[in-house]
Amino acid sequence: MVLVGDVKDRIAILVDDMADTCGTICHAAHKLLEAGAVKVYAICTHGIFSGPAISRINNSMFEAVVVTNTIPQDQRMKEAPKIQCQDISIILAEAIRRTHNGESVSYLFANVPM
């Protein structure tokens, strides 16, 4: 893993589509902190959290790991206080409604109903 850019004295945000075993994002967080980042956050669309994921998150230096509720997270948030969940049901419902009615979905990029 190679870090490109300067993170010294900055807050770093890791973005990924899914957090499964969390080995990669925890390794990346460690690299960012070694390079001088003051805080590290992870934002992932799907929080799968299989195998050693919860243990890795609990032992990591993340300030928070933010995921959406595409997968229920209540139990995992109890096991790992760093996990935070963002409800995206409203925007998904609106995207489905717009698709069904032949309306613009790209409208949501600038006008998120949250």
Domains defined along the chain, listed by start: 11-87 (3.40.50.2020)
| Spatial separation of the C-alpha atoms in residues 36 and 56, rounded to whole Å | 21
pLDDT in tens, the chain (114 residues): 899 999 999 999 999 999 999 999 999 999 999 999 999 999 999 999 999 999 999 999 999 999 999 999 999 999 999 999 999 999 999 999 999 999 999 999 888 765
End-to-end CA distance of the chain: 36
**pTM assigned to the model:** 0.89
Instruction: Please say whether the dihedral angle defined by the alpha carbons of residues 46, 50, 54 and 55, taken in this order, is positive or negative.
Output: negative
Identity at 93, one-letter amino acid code: A
